[in-house]
Structure formats: C-alpha cells, structure tokens
A and B are shown apart, each in its own frame.
Chain A
Amino acid sequence: MQIFTCPFCGPRDETEFHFAAEAGKKRPIPAETVTDDEWAEYLYMNSASRGKAQEVWLHVTCGEFFLMTRDTVTRDVTAVTSLPGRNA
C-alpha cells in the first residue's frame, strides 16, 4: 500500500485516493469544432506509461484534486502540486 501526499492534508494511505486522469490532456472545445476522433482520443486514449508518469489524483476524504509525478515501476512519488485551475 503506497503513501501519497495530498497537498492539502499531507501524507495519507493509498486507499484514500482515487486516480482521476492522466495529466496534460486538454479538453477540446468548442464542441461544434471537435471531431468524433478528437473527442474519442480525449475521452479514452491514455498513454499508461511505464516509468515516469504525471497524473491527476483525487484525495477522496478532502476533495483535493492534484498533480502527482510518480514512477509507475519503482512507485516513487517525486512531486505533488495543487491544480492551477483557470489561472493556468
């Protein structure tokens, strides 16, 4: 069982977290200009990379969504940061 660090709460057990999405996907808008393929790509295609990965995780107990940089092989977590929201 891994330990993840919520930017809001600190280190907690893996069981308190949910994977939300791979980071870096940009939601294609407006809908009128987005093709079926682009939308399917956004919804369903993941790189599921071996090794270094950047992902959005949810700390279920507090509701914080955050960026986590981790290694899917060694399970090392190297960075956690809050989402930038519209300020990005």
Chain B
Amino acid sequence: MSGWRHSSIGSQIDRNTPLPFTFDGRPGSGFAGDTPASALLASGIRVLGRSFKYHRPRGLWGMGNEEPNAIFDVTEDGRTTPNVRSTTVMLRRNMALRSVNTAPDAARDRTGMLDLFNRFLPGGFYYKTFMAFGWMRWEPMIRRMAGLGRLDPGHCPPADIPQLNARCDLLVIGAGPAGLAAARAAARNGREVWLVDDAPEPGGSLRWRGGAIDGGDWREFTRDAIGAIIAAGGRILTGTTIWGAFDHGLFAAWERRDGSPDRLWRIRAAETVLATGAIERPLWFANNDLPGILSAEAALHYLSLYGAVAGRRILLATGNDASYPVAAALAQAGCDVTLADARADAPAAPDGVKHLGAARLTQAHGRNSVAGAVVDGRVIETDAILVSGGYTPSVHLHCQAGGKLDWDTGSDSLIPRPGSSALWVAGAVNGSFGLARALAEGHAAGGGTGPAPRAAAGDWQFFPMRPDPDLRGRQWIDPQNDVTLKDVKLAAQEGYRSVEHLKRYTTLGMATDQGRSANFAGLATMAALTGRTIPETGTTTYRPPFSPVPLGVIGGLRRGDLFNAPKRLPLEIAHKARGAMFREYGGWLRPSVYGTDDEAVLAQQEALAARKSVGLYDASPLGKIEVIGPGAAELLDYCGYLRLSTLKPGRARYGFVLGETGIVHDDGVVFRLAENRFVVSASSSHAATVRMILEEARQDVFDPTKSFIHDVTAGFATLTVTGPKSRDLLIAANLPEALYDDANLPHMSVTETFWNGHSLRVARVSFTGDRSYEVTVPARHAPALYSALETARQEVSGRWIGMEAVMILRAEKGFILVGKDTDGLTMPHDLGWEAPREKRKDEYLGRRSLFTAEARRADRRQLVGLEIDGDAPLPTGAHLVPLEGQRRSLGFVTSSYFSPILGRPIALALVEGGRNRIGTELGVFHLGKIGRVRICDSCAFDPTWERLHA
C-alpha cells in the first residue's frame, strides 16, 4: 500500500465528483476524470493481477496501450467486458473491476505456487511435455489456469457501430507536439487536416511534461493549432485509435465515444504525418516484475494528470535525460527521490534529488510489492522503483504501410527509414526527442512556411541500456506472456535465433500488449547472445490492428437482418397478407409455404393442389437479362450451349451457360422477343454472374458496339400460373384474349401485349411439367396483376404455392437446380444434353473442355432418378454404393421428396455411368445402414409430357 493521491496536483480529475468502484469485490473510490489505473494507483492497491504462466503478482507498469498487467474484466449494468486495459478507458461510477488469471482474487491467488515450479516450465515446455503425454488430456487444465479474462456469454453488444468513409488533405496521427505543429502548419496553408489521437484530449506528452512554446504555455499553442484546423475545414478526433494502415493511403480508425456508439472511420488522406511518439522501455534486473515497478514516464503521467503518486520513497533508475524532469516533479510533490543514472557523465541532479552516477540496479526486493532495491551491491530501502531503459518509437503504422527501419545510435532505437513508406514522420517516432526538435520536424512535415514554433532546446542523451545475460536472478522480458531472459537464452541455445522463431518458441511479444514493452529487450538479448547487431537480428512483422479492436467495431451494423441482406419481392406484403412464411432462396426472401401448419404438410397440400387444379407462385427473382442489338444473336450463340440464332422471334428455348471448363454454370430459358432482342431468364441465384459472362464476351470477343446487355430483374415482377386449370384462371382474370389461344401462344413461346395501359409479357414455359404461364409486368404494376390473379384464383379454386411445393413439382419432372442437382464437375452431357456437343461446329464457351479425356469418360456421374420401396424419402446427400464387393461412393442423392401426386417418394441423383444402370439396383448408405434403390429415368411424373398441353 504505497501509492497515494497528491492534495493539489492533477489536471484531469474533478475532486468534487468522487466515483465509487470495486476491485475484486472490495470497494474503492476515484474521481471523475480518473482511469481505473490511476484510481487504483492512488488507492495504493498494488497487486492488480497474476501473470499468465507462473501466476506471479503483477502491478501497474505503463499508461497506455503498452500496459501488460493492469487488465481487467469490467462489469457494468450486469454486463462483463473481458480484458479491458485499465490505462485506456475512463473510470465510471460503480464499475466492477475483476483481476484476470486469479483465483479467488489478485491478492490471494491460490495458483501462485506454480511459480515454485518455474524451473520446470521453460519456453517450449508446454509443447514438449504435454505433446509427449497427450495434449488432449492436459489442455483443459492448462487453459483454465492460463489465459486472460472470462467471456460473459450473456453479453452481446448491440450492432450499432457506424462505419464512415472520409477524405482529407492531410491526416496527422498523434496530437503531441510534433503532430500539433504539423497540423497547424498545414491548416494555416489552407489544407483540410484531420488530427487523430487516442488520448481523450490533444497534447500528447505535453499534457504531463508541460512546456513553453513560442514563449507561451503549451495550451495556448494547442488552442491555436485547433483553431487553425477548424478554420480550414478540418477535424480533430480524440479518443480515437488509428489501428491499421492499408493500401493506397487508407487508414482505419476506431473512435470511442461516451454515451453513444463507437465509430469506425475509413480515412483516405492525400498525405499522412506519423507523429505517434515513443513508448518507454523497462530495465532488466532480478525480480523486475514486482508490483511497484513502473515506467518513469508513466509515473510522471499519473502525477501530473491525476495526482496519483507511485510511492513515497522512490528509486528512479535510468540512463537518459528524459527521466530528470520526472525526478524533479516527484521531489517537488514531496517524494524522497533517489536518481540512479547508469552514466558516469550524468548531468547535474535536480534540486532535492539524491543522485548516484554510474549506478547499476541489479535486484528488487519484496514479496508482493517493492520493499527495496540493490544498486551497486548496496541495499536501498524504497517503496517504488521507477525505471527508464530508453524509448522505442511507435513505428507500427510506418511498417504496416511497407516502411523499413534503420538503427539510430543517437536515440538508441530503430527509426523509420526516410522515404521507405509514403508517410511523413515527425518527433519521437523518428527518434527526435525533446520539444524543440519535435516541433521543428512536425512543422516541416506539415509543409510549414516560416519559422517553426520555438521551444527550449532540451536535446536528450540516451545511454544504451541492455539486459545482462550474466546477471543472477530471474529477469522478465515479457511480463504479460511470462517470458524471462532465461527463456530467450534457451531459444538461442536451441537454435531459434531468428526473431520470428524466437517469438513463436517463447511466445515473446504475442500477448495482447503485442510486446510493446518487451520486444526490444528480446531483440537486444538475442543480438547479444548471437554476437549480432540489433539491425542484423531484425524485427518481427507489424500487422494491423495496432492495438486490440472490438469485433463489433469491425462488424459494424452487419448483424442479424443486415448481416447478408436478402433481396425482397415487390409483392412481399401481399404474400404476407396471405399468410406466407418466408425463407431465403438463392439470395431472395421468398414464400416457402402459405399458412401456419407444419411446413412439410403445407408443401404437400400445395403441390397436390397445383397438380389437380391450379397453383400460383411468385417467380419475380427469375433473372431477366435483356440482350439487345444486331450482335445479340451471335453473342448468345457464343455464350450458350444451345444455339439461339436459330430461334424464331416469339419463341423460347431452354439451355445452359457453361464456364470455359465446360462445367454447367447455369440453366434457364432464353426468349427471343424480336429479331434483335432477347431476354435471358437466368436462374435467380445466378443472374448476376450470367450477366458478367455475357458482358465479358461482349467486350472481349465481339464488337462491343453491336450489342447491349441490361439486367432488369429487379424492374419486373413475375407471377407464374401452373396446373391443368391455369388457362381458366387467365380467362377469369380477364387477361387479353390472345393469350388463351394455344395456336397463338403454344408451349415454349412468348408474347408481349398491353393490359390496363402498361406492358404485359406472358411466356408459356413450365418448371412443373404442367401447362404454365409466366406473367410479367413492370414491378410498379405488380399489385394490380396480383389482385387480378387473386380474384380469379378464388373463382377457379386455385392455391398460392410456396417454393417448397415448387421444388416438389420440378423434381417430379426431373427438372434440375444448378448447384443442387449438379456440382463442380457436371457437364451438360451428364444431364442428357448431348446434341450440341456432338453437332455444333462453331465456337462456344467451354467447348474444348467437353472433349478432354475426362469429359469423355464413360463412368462420369450422370443425372438419374431413384425409386425406393416404402414411404420415407431418401436423405439428400446420401451416397450410393455397390450392393456387392468393395464399398465406395458411386454418387449421391441430390434432391429427394415425397410426391403427393404419385403417392411415393422420388429422388434425383448423380451416379457413375448412371444412365446405363437404369433398371438396376444400388445400395444407399446412410448412418451406417445400407438400403436399396432402383435407378430410373429422372422424370418420374407424366413421362409422355401430355400435361404441358392439357
């Protein structure tokens, strides 16, 4: 219990608004403006969780998304969000924070004894040991003890996150001094600037380090920059993380908003300035993971913003100038501060700070919290250790954008190689520390004219701090994934020397903090152990996201009805009024049956009614691709398996569209309305791709000016009337008389006429084998057609039928659905359509593929029908097998129904050499049992086709 709250310092908190919260069930209190991390620090609570593998006590380390330890399951309003980084969210009233990896809680974890076995748990241990003894047996136990927070199965956040696209002249990532200077300079030149920062307000490190710019307080400079941005039409997004850099200058941003849904921005900028700053590195000494050891930069952040102080007797171990203002501020706040600098030529200590030069921190003491430290062999009593091992520039987005890195000795870090990505780079991310340099670089990156904003020089010197492989005791490299220096040594010993191998072998840097505080040490250690430089050792690949992003942000509104929105019928409301149940068929929401009874029962009744009298169904989703022009017939000949140039105007022909591989892509009817005008009635789920096949041929193979293609599917509604009394229904509906006459409108013909002042197209084609009329009107006239047919239906005792009944009717006739009764190997001759392949001499799509050795095999799977004894339909997908000898699949059932008109089950199947097997029997394998089927013709009903004209 060593952290405390200063009585006056703290720019972010409102001391008049206390916020109660709980941590592991015990009450705590913070202030409005606190983060959970700052409130816990100020409360003096040190042990915030347990480590992943050894269950060592862990405390707060950092101040942002580099935080490896202070991660909680957060419960608000009865809903739990797992693995919330307590440094990056605001504290809210009555938040319940629950430590992760602990049982029963962080302070009294029972599995801490795992740490005693640490020498038996080296890197690669899980794999080596448990694979040998059966991973399956051990996995549940290990998973229970390891891993982070718990998922709340009841927590399903709403899919209410908008995704917005934006453009700007200049995107500035990071609103610290460099970013502010860049944004201000660009905005002053009239450019539209978006300034984005993940903190709740602009300022970056100025917020806790302060500073004078152009002779005034930094806040004045910030206000001036914001004013310039707004005046030039730009925008400032705070609480927003740019989490990915993508091709052609696209950036993804996650904006967190209080009280309204978060937002995802896709920002496309003409130019981008990267001013993301740097993250402090830890130091490496024995027990460097003890709670109470914090980043020095973070300690200043908590002091300045929240008045939360890490301890009272503070040891600050460093090797750079950046830590000196930290020591000074803590001393001024009343702490007893000892500054241990690794450099022999360290600068003078700030007032009131004890100073040790050429000093080396080798060990921390304490059980659950820091109680002492060993510096140069001498024990120092302390209740908090602040450390700085230098800084690692946040180069992630530069690297995501394809940029490379170079070693920079001055800043002791890897910095962006100039020109290797399309991003401008400014400030600490460029290894340029100190306020004056950051401002100058930002000003230049923003295209600033005139002098850059001025600040005191303050160049920082960095002494290279490195892990010492020879130092005694356990030194943590990656605190979140529990990787120690010994694990890195073991990896080097076993030959895992590339950084990518090191990462996978030890899991270094693979935790949710993505190794922000760990990767450099792992890299530096591996370099030292293998006698290479850091650039020779290399870095791992940077990939989006920059930090964890909730799946809901990426999913946006796409859930439920909007996940994969189906197309809707113009007459959906009318069908609903008739009691239709809806299902999705090939991307369209269509009636499955009408009524509330069992769907299968209704489908049987509807199918029977259509056979006995007349059925009506909505066929609007049928593709209607118009192909128009003097080149239309030639184009369709090339794209179809059956020639269409020989079709007479007013007539219809069934055919196939093949891919160049000869596989059936779609089937359907083509109407020739006039010499130069065709309508391709592609199946509803293939209309879009058939149109593209036609377009590709039109533009690539033919003279594109000789034909035009329009997909007008959505512009028209089609109602199909089918059954022996379908003609009666047309008459009762008072449709034009010309339609009643079979001489005028025989089967496979089409006519266009006028009805009630608009166009009406009627086609005699049949998907049921019965006399049928497809009646098509412009979609806006669908209700008028509907009511005319509905009135007539009642007169002739017809019935609305859904797609389930249509499926039965077409299967009774052996009519296929491409993709259901065919698969990715089916060619037209497998379906019994031999003639074009044998007779056509002209070129058409897929032609050559129909003559390969494969296409000529006698044992290709062919479409046949199946007959069975009994009343139970065969399971669709069941495999057909030989009745004797070696069991193997000869094919499978593709469609299977009970036929109400035949009073027995029917089925279609693809079977090896199927047509030669007609009349013979095969086995059908299902759930371990083999039944018997007879192979028959695919057409089970009305084989003489008399009903088409009845």
* A interface residue numbers (CB < 8 A to B): 1-3, 14, 20, 27-31, 34, 36, 39, 43, 56, 58, 60, 63-65, 75, 82-83, 85-87
Which of B266, B660, B695, B848 interacts with A65 by CB under 8 Å? Answer: B695
**Shortest distance in angstroms between A70's beta carbon and chain B's nearest beta carbon?**
11
Contacting pair B247 A85 (CB below 8 A):
no
A29, chain B: closest CB distance, angstroms: 5
User: Does B189 sit within 8 A of A, measured CB to CB?
Assistant: no
Question: Can you give 10 A-B contacts (C-beta < 8 A)?
Answer: A27-B701, A31-B851, A39-B848, A39-B849, A63-B691, A65-B696, A65-B700, A75-B247, A85-B699, A85-B704
B661 within 8 A of A: yes
Whether B852 and A85, one on each chain, are in contact in the complex, defined by CB atoms closer than 8 angstroms, is no
User: Contact: B248 with A63, CB < 8 Å?
Assistant: no
Collect the chain A residues with CB atoms within 8 Å of residue B691's CB.
Answer: 63
Closest to B705 in A: A85
B250-A1 in contact (CB<8A): yes
Q: How far is the CA of A28 from the CA of B695 in the complex (A)?
A: 20
Cα–Cα, bound, A81→B852 (Å)? 35
Binding site for A on B (CB under 8 A): 246-248, 250, 266, 268, 660-661, 691-692, 695-696, 698-704, 709, 843, 847-849, 851-853
Q: How many angstroms from the CA of A31 to the CA of B696 in the assembled complex?
A: 20
Task: Contact check, B695 vs A85: say whether CB atoms are below 8 A apart.
Answer: no
Q: How far is the CA of A85 from the CA of B248 in the complex (A)?
A: 30
B660 lies within 8 A of A43 (CB): yes
| Centre residue among A28, A30, A56, A85 by max chain B CB count within 10 A | A85
Smallest CB separation, B184 vs chain A (Å)? 29
Would you give the shortest CB distance from B62 to chain A, in whole angstroms? Answer: 32
With A82-B699, A85-B700 known as contacts, the answer to whether A36 contacts B247 (CB < 8 A) is no
* Chain A residue at smallest Cβ distance from B631: A86
B848 engages A31 (CB within 8 Å): yes
Which of A20, A27, A86: most chain B CB closer than 10 A?
A: A86
Complex Cα distance A48/B643, Å?
36
Which residue of chain A has its CB nearest to the CB of B711? A63
Closest B residue, CB atoms, query A31: B848
Q: Are A34 and B696 in contact (CB under 8 A)?
A: no
Whether A14 contacts B847 by the Cβ 8 Å rule is no
User: Whose C-beta in chain B lies nearest to the C-beta of A20?
Assistant: B696
Partner of A1, one of B247, B696, B698, B853: B247
Contact at A87–B695, with CB atoms within 8 Å?
no
Task: Kindly list chain B residues whose C-beta atoms are within 8 Å of the C-beta of A60.
Answer: 692
List, in ascending order, chain A residues with CB within 8 A of B268's CB: 3
Decide: A86 and B701 in contact? CB cutoff 8 A.
Answer: yes
Main secondary structure of the interface of A (DSSP, over half): mixed
Given contacts A2-B247, A36-B852, A63-B709, is CB(A31)–CB(B843) below 8 Å? yes
Q: How distant is the Cα of A37 from the Cα of B691 in the complex, in angstroms?
A: 30
Cα distance, A86 to B714, chains bound together (Å): 31
Given contacts A1-B248, A63-B691, 17 further A-B contacts (CB under 8 A): A1-B246, A1-B266, A3-B248, A28-B848, A31-B843, A31-B847, A31-B851, A34-B848, A43-B661, A58-B696, A63-B692, A63-B709, A65-B700, A75-B248, A85-B699, A85-B704, A86-B701
- CB neighbours (8 Å) of A30 from chain B are 843
B698 surroundings in chain A (CB, below 8 A): 85
A1 to B246, CA, bound (A): 6
Q: Hey, which chain A residues are within 8 Å of B248, CB to CB? A: 1-3, 75
Cα separation A4 to B860 with both chains bound (whole Å): 43
The 5 closest A-B pairs by CB, nearest first: A31-B848, A2-B247, A85-B704, A86-B703, A63-B695
Closest Cβ neighbor of A58 among chain B residues: B692
Which listed residue, A27, A28, A87, touches B703 by the CB 8 Å rule? A87
A34: which B residues are within 8 A, CB to CB? 848
Task: Tell me the nearest residue of chain A to B709, going by C-beta.
Answer: A63
Across the interface, name the chain A residue whose C-beta is closest to B852.
A36
| Most A CB within 10 A of own CB, among B701, B704, B709, B843 | B704
Residues of the B chain whose Cβ atoms lie less than 8 Å from the Cβ of A65: 695-696, 699-700
Q: Using Cβ atoms and an 8 Å threshold, which residues of chain B touch A20?
A: 696
Cβ contact within 8 Å between B699 and A83: yes
Cα-based distance from A1 to B244 in the complex (angstroms)? 11
Min CB distance B361 to A, Å, is: 47
In angstroms, Cα B692 to Cα A29, docked, is 22
Name, among A1, A29, A58, A87, the residue most crowded by chain B CB atoms within 10 Å (CB to CB): A1
Q: Which of A28, A58, A82, A86 touches B702 (beta carbons < 8 Å)?
A: A86
A14 in contact with B696 (CB, 8 Å): no
State how many angstroms separate the Cβ of B323 from the closest Cβ of chain A: 42
| Whole-angstrom distance between the Cβ of B658 and the nearest chain A Cβ | 13
Instruction: Note all chain A residues with C-beta closer than 8 A to B853.
Output: 36
B250, B700, B848: the one within 8 Å of A83 (CB): B700
Min CB distance, B252 to chain A, in Å? Answer: 9
CA distance A1 to B251 in the complex (A): 9
**B836 shortest CB reach to chain A, Å:** 13
Residues on B with beta carbons closer than 8 Å to the beta carbon of A3: 248, 268
Q: In the bound complex, how far is the Cα of B848 from the Cα of A43, in angstroms?
A: 11
B704 to chain A: which residues have CB within 8 Å? 83, 85
Give, as a whole number of angstroms, the nearest-CB distance from A56 to chain B: 7
Report whether A85 and B692 are in contact in the complex, using a CB–CB cutoff of 8 Å. no
Chain B residues near A31 (CB-CB < 8 A): 843, 847-848, 851
Bound Cα distance from A39 to B847, whole angstroms: 11
Complex CA distance for A20 and B696, rounded to whole angstroms: 9
Chain A residues within an 8 Å CB radius of B692 = 58, 60, 63
Which A residues touch B701, using CB under 8 A?
Answer: 27, 85-86
A14 vs B249: C-alpha distance when bound (angstroms): 13
Q: Roughly how many angstroms separate A24 CA and B742 CA in the complex, as a whole number?
A: 52
**Residues in chain B near residue A83, CB distance under 8 A:** 699-700, 704
Query: How far in angstroms is the closest Cβ of chain A from B828?
Result: 15
Min distance, Cβ A78 to any Cβ of chain B, angstroms: 13
Alpha-carbon distance between A64 and B701 when the two chains are bound, in angstroms: 14
Cα distance, A75 to B249, chains bound together (Å):
11
Tell me, in angstroms, the Cα distance from A24 to B848 when the chains sit together: 19
Most chain B C-beta atoms within 10 Å of own C-beta, residue among A20, A31, A43, A64 = A31
A48 to B22, CA, bound (A): 58
CB distance from A47 to the nearest CB of B (A): 18
Kindly list chain B residues whose C-beta atoms are within 8 Å of the C-beta of A27. Answer: 701
| Cβ contacts under 8 Å, B660 to chain A | 43
List chain A residues, Cβ under 8 A from B661: 43
> Looking across the interface, which residue of chain A has its beta carbon closest to that of B844?
A31
In the complex, chain A residues whose CB is within 8 Å of the CB of B696: 20, 58, 65
Partner among B246, B247, B699, B702 whose Cβ is within 8 Å of the Cβ of A64: B699
